[in-house]
Chains A and B, each alone.
Chain A
Amino acid sequence: MLHLTIFLIFGAICVAGAVNLLVQRHPINSALSLIVVMASLAVEYLLLGAEFVAAVQVIIYAGAIMVLFVFVIMLLNAGEEERTKGSRVAMIFGIPGMLVGSGLVAWVLLEHSGTHSVAAGALPGPPKTIAWLLFHEFLLPFEVTSVLVLIAIMGAVVLAGHPDSGGPAKKEG
């Protein structure tokens, strides 16, 4: 019962943070509400017995990625966004569509998921299990991710560099 109560409380905080993220006008406020979302998600993971995911959630999402977000916002010196009326199509179709969509997914998950509910902690959660999976069954995806990261770095170098630097016709230095 205590489990469920804590779960519900943090679930509510998480949803409130997500809504606040959308409503806030200043990017920094949005970024800070994202931290609330991430942190409360971490608590939820912990309650489900996924200690490793919870720790990773805090370290990577609430920590590293958020710092990056805040840096980018500050570097761009992004100010308060202007209120626009928003597109009418989005108002008429988007919001009801989203509500119906999420309602449908929730209904399917609750009633027809096909898998039975699992006791907390029954799925692989401890770091040791994760490590075993990561370096055995999922070794190839794990290694291939390095190519992905490499490409991302190359992309940053290419797209952030000055367009005229290093062109064949012009040599600097």
Chain B
Amino acid sequence: MNGGAQVTPQAVEYIRILPEIVLTIFGIIIMMLDPLMDERRSQRTLGAVGLVGALAAIVATLYQSQYPGVGFWGMVNVDSFSVFFHFLVATVTAVVILTSYEYMEVQQIRAGEYYGLILFGAVGMCLMSSAVELVLIFIALEISSISTYILAGFRRRAAISSESSVKYFLLGSFATAFFLYGVAMMFGATGSTSIAVIGQVLGSGQTPVLAYVGIALMFVGLGFKVAAAPFHVWTPDVYEGAPAPIVGFMSTAPKAAVFAVLLRILFEAHAPGRLWLIWVVAALSMTLGNIGALVQDNVKRLLAYSSIAHAGYLLVAFAALPANGIPAAMFYTVSYAAMNVGAFAVVSHFASAGERYVTMEDYAGLGRRSPLLAATLTIFLLSLIGIPATGGFFAKFYVFSAALQANLVGLVIIGVLNSAVGAYYYLRVIVVMYMREARQEVPVSPIPLGLGAALAISAATTIYLGVLPGRVLEYATRSAGDLLR
């Protein structure tokens, strides 16, 4: 307790949580409009409000970036690092809402709570990237997780969706308990839950053994959220059952936020013993993810295993030296978000009512029936492989070169071998789309405006990151400097 300190927050401190405030307000507006409107027409209006909310959050983030600093008694810290992730989360939210427009009508899902939960979830994710205190991080993590648990169960008519929601909820709550236990241990070891103070204590040389226990437990909790092996078992089932646009959302935005938290905890708090921990988890995730994906016939499950593998690639950057590991990880998060949201946008358009068409066989002949859709999906899949001129190439390139500079040759070899294995199953989808004849005619409806915009944004970002990665990388490097200061 510092007796003479300020008693109420100042105006500038509210600017430091402005995107969160904006998203919350729009979420509440959606909830209040929902009962007032005719249900048949509310879908588009509520979606539009949600979209405006996400765009307003982007504007708020840009405005906020001019007021860096700490707010609310050292709870949040606005720096270029947090602005980067705010921007990413808000953009993913906007694109996912665009994707959901058509999906909601086709699947006949109630719109009000759906868009509200997406915005509230984004509040948690934004807060995770700017929070510098473990209690706040925990609450933000819970907001983001609980909203995704619920969103996973939104296909109420499909039993598989409820299964996905329940599985995700039970295992997720268990994982969060690990995180909380780790926070308690960390508090016991250092006497504080503020990352800055923990960093001072742990950086000063002597490391209490309890801090290792704390880090390990927190890593278990966060590893679950990013679907890193061996905490990945839930991923395929949950991704298979959840609504496709939501899978695009929850495989990118919450993961990006958790990676932001991990970066802060591991690097800013000078976490001890991270190297071997990350090494093992990264190698396991890459290998298990890619091997699991090889035998999948359902495209959603395939992308689920692919997301496990990508979490592995991303974690390689965490084992590298902070100065080039952090920018590499940040770059990877963005390019992965672009390609994965895009891929799931295609999946959600193609799936039709009740998500009937999600197996590999249904994709046969797509190249002829809907050339545009097949072409965009091809871009995303090539990027997921890591073909040059796509974002995925530079993402992998930066991660592996950062790891090489830290002399992690073994890990890089595992990573490169895995990329080669991964190419097989992504190419399989492309081959099926272009070279195999459809056994049964699967209808493909024309691409609506919202989905078209979502696909255009994702594809443009993927290619932009693959052709001109310089600006994003430069910004990420600057953020890393902010984080390590």
Instruction: Decide: A144 and B190 in contact? CB cutoff 8 A.
Output: no
Is B123's CB within 8 Å of the partner chain A? yes
Tell me which of B17, B104, B117 contacts A151 (CB under 8 A). Answer: B117
Smallest beta-carbon distance B89→chain A, Å: 15
Q: In the bound complex, how far is the Cα of B20 from the Cα of A159, in angstroms? A: 25
Is A168's CB within 8 Å of the partner chain B? yes
Q: In the bound complex, how far is the Cα of B277 from the Cα of A157, in angstroms? A: 41
Binds A, one of B70-78, B282-290, B362-370: B70-78
What are the interface flags for A30-74 relative to B under an 8 Å C-beta threshold, 1 for contact and 0 otherwise?
000000000000000000000000000000000000000000000
Q: Which residues of A contact B143 (CB under 8 A)?
A: 144, 147-148, 151
Smallest beta-carbon distance A34→chain B, Å: 16
Tell me which of B76, B146, B211 contacts A114 (CB under 8 A). Answer: B211
Is A86's CB within 8 Å of the partner chain B? no
- State which size class the interface on B falls in: 35 or more
Instruction: Decide: A171 and B9 in contact? CB cutoff 8 A.
Output: no
What are the interface flags for B240-263 relative to A under an 8 Å C-beta threshold, 1 for contact and 0 otherwise?
000000000000000000000000
The SS class assigned to the B binding surface is helix
Assess A138 versus B135: contact at CB under 8 Å? Given A113-B189, A147-B123, A168-B43: yes
Is B221's CB within 8 Å of the partner chain A? no
Assess A113 versus B210: contact at CB under 8 Å? Given A144-B139, A151-B147, A168-B43: yes
Q: Which residues of A contact B121 (CB under 8 A)?
A: 151
| CB-CB contacts below 8 Å: A115-173 with B | 115, 124, 129, 132-133, 136-141, 144-145, 147-148, 150-152, 154-155, 157-159, 161, 163-164, 166-169, 171
Is A78's CB within 8 Å of the partner chain B? no
Q: Top 8 nearest A-B pairs by Cβ distance?
A: A114-B208, A163-B156, A112-B209, A155-B150, A140-B72, A167-B108, A137-B73, A140-B75
Supplied contacts A137-B75, A148-B146, 12 more A-B pairs, CB within 8 Å: A112-B210, A113-B209, A115-B191, A138-B135, A144-B127, A147-B120, A154-B31, A158-B113, A158-B117, A159-B150, A159-B162, A159-B165
A-binding residues in B (CB < 8 A): 1, 5, 7, 9, 17, 20, 24, 31, 39-40, 42-43, 71-76, 104-105, 108-111, 113, 116-117, 120-121, 123-124, 127, 133, 135-136, 139-140, 142-143, 146-147, 149-150, 153-154, 156-157, 162, 165, 188-191, 206, 208-211, 213
